[in-house]
Amino acid sequence: MSKVVVIGGGVAGMIAAIRASLKNEVILLEGNDKCGKKILLTGNGRCNYWNENISIDSYHTDNLKKLEEIISSSNQKEVLTFLEKMGLFPRIKNGYYYPFSNQASSVRNLLTRELEKRNVEVVYQKVKHISKQEHYFLIDTSKQTFVSDYVILATGSTASPKTGSDGSGYLLAKSLGHTISEITPALVPMKAKESCLKDWEGVRTDSKVSLIVEKKKVAEELGEIQLTNYGISGICVFNLSGLASKNLKLGKKVEVEINFLPFLNVSFYEWFSERNQRIPNHSVEDLLESIFPYKLLLVLLKKAGINRNDYWSRLPEDKKEKLSSLVSNFPLEITDVESFDRAQVATGGVPLNEINPNTMESLLCSGCYLTGELLDVDGKCGGFNIAFAFMSGYLAGRSVVDAKN
């Protein structure tokens, strides 16, 4: 029986320890006073732990080919089956998986009980240093030194430090020979430079948001956005924030363009002109107040130089075209994203080209396995990140079993 030390007691660490314990002696080292603190924050406290539409299109990474192997349909099926056999019964809504209880604590409790059932020793000590000897590892905490045949790194990223994530795992991986790509916040609101921000604060509206880097559109997302006094927020904004933060870090100009009426299949100019013909003798305000939230309407009219009591038929062409452009392509210069304190995940980490995607074993340090947010993989909102943590952790645990048996 081999000795395995798992460093990190989040989703990836706990599932790795559980799977590895089938034929190994496993110790899990966690720097917090409890395992799974971050789980309680996922899905607004309900733990959206999976998505039925997992594919490489839902992630950003340095190596899509290796990611595709990790999240293969066969691996997805195996991990979901394993979770169900542990007792995790899903409630599926629009492709999103939640525990049937709708409580994130159910997922954490299930995992921690499984650790206990499988005799995994959980030690609440923070790892300070790790070194590879010829045939074993030495793992030093502030209190003692552990010896293991294998080590699984599942330390998470720097996102959401209130849950204990401090990025220390990057240093451990680096000490074992790995490189670390630039770490930036992801799944986080964006800050913008625009005079109207205070005027539209509090507005929520369905929109299409396009991310523009150096005048080139690189991505777009559709969904509800929140207009704030510092910029923009909402799930579709979160999904673009990782790319935005990476490019800002590189010194590139980052903008977004917002289409406030993405359902139109004709130009706003054409659509509104036809609406004005059908409902004549009404002001621009009358015709648009039921279309846009009122705060947003006033911002659009002000920036177009249109008085709310003006009539569309009497407006000069340049003002009509200006309003049409603002409705369909409202420009915002992005100056920053919110900090790691508000980030759900981080971009960057250990590149996938430094691991074996079938086993999660390091290609630079045999016997060491890397999982979860420590890797350069970040997904969209919707359960994709926690699903990757489950899959990568499970593969690492399974591989440790297969390595000696």
d(CA 386, CA 365): 26
pLDDT of residue 404: 61
Answer left, alpha or beta for residue 27, where phi above 0 means left and psi between -120 and 50 means alpha. beta
3-state helix, strand, coil in the chain (%, to 5): 40, 30, 35
**202-220 as b/e: b if 16+ CB within 10 A:** ebebebbbbbbbeeeeeeb
First to last CA, the chain: 9
**Closest by alpha carbon to 385, among 253, 238, 286?**
238
Quick check: 354 and 63 in contact, CB under 8 A?
no
Task: State pTM to two decimals.
Answer: 0.95
| 337 beta partners | 190
Phi first, then psi: give them for residue 72, nearest 5 degrees.
-55, 155
pLDDT of residue 269: 92
Q: Token match 């990790």: residue? A: 70
d(CA 30, CA 389): 16
Answer left, alpha or beta for residue 21, where phi above 0 means left and psi between -120 and 50 means alpha. alpha
Quick check: 15 and 111 in contact, CB under 8 A?
yes
Phi first, then psi: give them for residue 316, nearest 5 degrees.
-65, 155
- Domains in the chain, start-ordered, CATH in brackets? 2-185+345-404 (3.50.50.60), 189-338 (1.10.8.50)
In the chain, the largest separation of any two C-alpha atoms, in whole Å, equals 86
Low-confidence ranges of the chain (pLDDT < 70): 404-405
pLDDT of residue 44: 84
In DSSP notation, 285-349 reads HHHHTTTS-HHHHHHHHHHHT--TT--GGGS-HHHHHHHHHHHH-EEEEEEEE--TTT-SEEEEE
**Three-state secondary structure call for residue 180:** coil
- In this predicted model, what pLDDT tens digit does every residue of 325-377 receive, in sequence order? 999 999 999 999 999 999 999 999 999 999 999 999 999 999 999 999 999 99
Q: Give 395: exposed, middle or buried? Use CB within 10 Å, 0-12, 13-18, 19+.
A: buried
H-helix or E-strand spanning residue 117? helix 104-117
Cβ-Cβ contacts under 8 Å for 204 (sequence gap 6 or more): 224, 225, 226, 227, 234, 293
**Three-state secondary structure call for residue 372:** helix
Quick check: 7 and 139 in contact, CB under 8 A?
yes
